[in-house]
Amino acid sequence: MRRSSFGKFNLREKRHLYKLPFPLGVLLPFFPPYKVSKQNRVIELNAQGVALLSGDEAIALAAIHCGVVLGTGYPGTPSTEILETFSDLGGKAQWAPNEKVAAEVALGVAFASGRTLVTMKHVGLNVAADVLFTAAYSGVLGGYVLVCADDPGMASSQNEQDTRRYAVAAGVPMLEPADSQEAYDFTGLAFEISERWQIPVILRVTTRVCHSHTIVRPDNKFTAPLQPCFKRNIQERVMVPAHARPAHRRLRTKLAEIEAWNAKEGPNRVIEGSQDLGIIASGIATIHALEAAPETSLLKLGMTHPLPMESIRNFASRFNRCVTVEEGDPYLNDALLAAGIAVEKRLANYRFGELNVNRMRHLLAGEEEPQKVPPRAKPPQLCEGCPHRSTFTLLKELDCIVAGDIGCYTLAAMPPLQAMDTQICMGASIGVGLGMRHTLPEDQARRVVSVIGDSTFLHSGVTGLIEMAYNAPSTGHVVVVVDNGTTAMTGLQEHAGTGRALDHSRAGKVLPEEIARAVGIANVQVFNPLRELDLFEVALKAALKSNDVSVFVARQPCILAAAKIKAYEKTIAETACDCECAQPVTA
Ligand code: SF4
């Protein structure tokens, strides 16, 4: 363990510190822990009180300092480390089955006046959107901050949708930090805005903000949270049409007030420079712009919904030439042009991928960037020794049409296996497979199999399974749950099927085969795809011939997770109470 300038604390000691009873506990804001520990890495505050933190770590630290009662979410790159760090620091954090459930649990916290942090990646907001749109109407009491991490360039995603469109569509305020200091500061600000206007707030981050490490001075000067309590308010919490109509009007009034506040006191600033060019920027694009053109005048927008339109108009009017720079959609560009503000229309190619300083130089020059031939690279594959390999090899040998899903096993679509035919979004394998079964000629329909991972099945596959039980195709259908005992793609997180919580302590366990039997699937079998491949093959061939619906669970731990899973289970067994409750022994 490394020693900080202020003494040493390991993870366990820090957790203990945050649980100190009064009066020592009240001193903690003034004597925060000086390390942020994540797995084997330790980051220290130096003698000047600053630390080098990723954006994700900075958000987690701010959540601790803001007194967040519960952090919840679903893992998704690049947001996953927020809740892991929050938990490492002693915060109460949990993985939900999916983002909608996380957003609902968080809403309950905020209805009870607690502060809550919900984390997800951009595509997760599609799942949580149902909650967000109406929570904007109902409002909240405690601070509700939804951190949504966008992935421009799709380093690890199926699309590069821009969360800023959601803020506008749902009618919620949105902050966009550009570095880790702002990630820390804006998290606290988001809670203040949320509580002041009783509204959920989106904190939109992007890959480089999440994963880049920049200096943070965690000053911990946030407002204190409310005391959790229940306050009955049926008109504002029960969104039947008679209540929702005035709620919508209230929402629009709040947004008008927030826009006025944003123009006057919002986290936006002008960096004065030469008068040749004015740049209007948000998020990480600001950092690239400052590096590419340090001498230029720049309006940096920290709150990008509602936009401080009059401030922007005043800034833009000072320059003969004014450009917007932003990663993702032309969100600012469209909004400013629509408001009649004289900015240049952004060239279409800059909406694709991440920005960097070189691209920024071309963008600021108003020119197309030179098109580069991407370097040749070996396509990614399933790991050597991966338990999924035997399952997909079998499906290929049987000439199955595979409706696949989201997870590391999607790599089975790549050469040399090429054993997956479709993949759209979390849980879609079952519905898409059923659709093909309903449509294809019988000889082809009988070859269709849906393949879904364990975490993905619990996230969004259950409703597809209910559809299969309810509207079974005439040729039946086969679902294979490839259960590797972890959420491998995002970094081996726990989920509801592992029986362990986010911090790897004992939790409830939900098994796919039990869900399948509960919804009425008669043919449910569990195989080890390595040791029982012959049995699995026989069962699969029979299911493909029959007109019944079948669920097969191919269960074998991911080789990258197996040792860790053993260690977690050993720790749980060693610390479990001797009696039948099997709960951990606490001091
Ligand atoms: S991470 Fe695990 S489950 Fe995923 S491809 Fe690698 S070995 Fe297989």
Residue 33 confidence (pLDDT) = 41
pLDDT tens for each residue of 4-61: 322 222 233 333 333 333 333 333 333 344 444 445 445 678 888 899 999 999 999 9
**CB contact at 8 A, 151 and 161:** no
pLDDT tens for each residue of 508-528: 999 999 999 999 999 999 999
pLDDT tens for each residue of 479-510: 999 999 999 999 999 999 999 999 999 999 99
pTM: 0.89
Residue 15 confidence (pLDDT) = 31
Q: Is the CB of 521 under 6 A from ligand 1?
A: no
Domain boundary among 238, 265, 292: 265
Residue 376 confidence (pLDDT) = 78
User: Which helix (H) or strand (E) element contains residue 70?
Assistant: strand 70-73
Q: Is the CB of 279 under 6 A from ligand 1?
A: no
User: Is residue 234 assigned to a domain?
Assistant: yes
Domain boundary among 246, 265, 284: 265
Residue 16 confidence (pLDDT) = 31
Question: Which residue's alpha carbon is at the smallest distance from atom 6 of ligand 1?
Answer: 383
The answer to whether residue 247 scores a pLDDT higher than 50 is: yes
Verify that 168 and 236 share a domain, yes or no: yes
Domain boundary among 214, 244, 265: 265
3-state SS class at 524: strand
CATH of the domain at 405: 3.40.50.970
Atom of ligand 1 nearest to the CA of 383: 6
Question: Which residue's alpha carbon is at the smallest distance from atom 5 of ligand 1?
Answer: 382
User: What does the pLDDT average to over 230-240?
Assistant: 95
Q: How distant, in Å, are the alpha carbons of 78, 79, 428, 582 from that of 75?
A: 9, 7, 18, 27
pLDDT tens for each residue of 285-297: 999 999 999 999 9
Distance CA 510, CA 530 (A): 23
Q: Which domain range does residue 61 map to? A: 54-265
Which pLDDT band holds residue 578 (cuts at 50, 70, 90)? low
The answer to whether residue 271 scores a pLDDT higher than 60 is: yes
Verify that 355 and 220 share a domain, yes or no: no
The answer to whether residue 433 scores a pLDDT higher than 70 is: yes
Verify that 337 and 422 share a domain, yes or no: no
The fraction of the chain above a pLDDT of 90, given in percent, is 84
Residue 42 confidence (pLDDT) = 55
Verify that 205 and 309 share a domain, yes or no: no
User: What does the pLDDT average to over 169-191?
Assistant: 98
Verify that 408 and 491 share a domain, yes or no: yes
Which pLDDT band holds residue 584 (cuts at 50, 70, 90)? low
**CB contact at 8 A, 281 and 297:** no
User: What does the pLDDT average to over 357-370?
Assistant: 91
Distance CA 127, CA 411 (A): 23
Verify that 407 and 351 share a domain, yes or no: no
Distance CA 356, CA 520 (A): 53
User: Is residue 580 assigned to a domain?
Assistant: no
**CB contact at 8 A, 521 and 465:** yes
3-state SS class at 61: helix
Verify that 84 and 186 share a domain, yes or no: yes
User: With the C-alpha atoms ordered 570, 576, 579, 583, is the resulting torsion angle positive or negative?
Assistant: negative
Q: Is the CB of 560 under 6 A from ligand 1?
A: yes
Instruction: Please tell me the distance between residue 207's alpha carbon and the centre of ligand 1 in angstroms.
Output: 23
**CB contact at 8 A, 404 and 422:** yes
Question: Which residue's alpha carbon is at the smallest distance from atom 8 of ligand 1?
Answer: 386
Q: How distant, in Å, are the alpha carbons of 344, 403, 581 from that of 341?
A: 9, 47, 66
User: With the C-alpha atoms ordered 104, 109, 112, 114, is the resulting torsion angle positive or negative?
Assistant: negative
**Distance from the Cα of residue 540 to its chain's centroid:** 35
Distance CA 165, CA 70 (A): 27
User: What does the pLDDT average to over 556-567?
Assistant: 95
**CB contact at 8 A, 100 and 73:** no
Q: Is the CB of 414 under 6 A from ligand 1?
A: no
Q: Is the CB of 488 under 6 A from ligand 1?
A: yes
Distance CA 109, CA 90 (A): 18
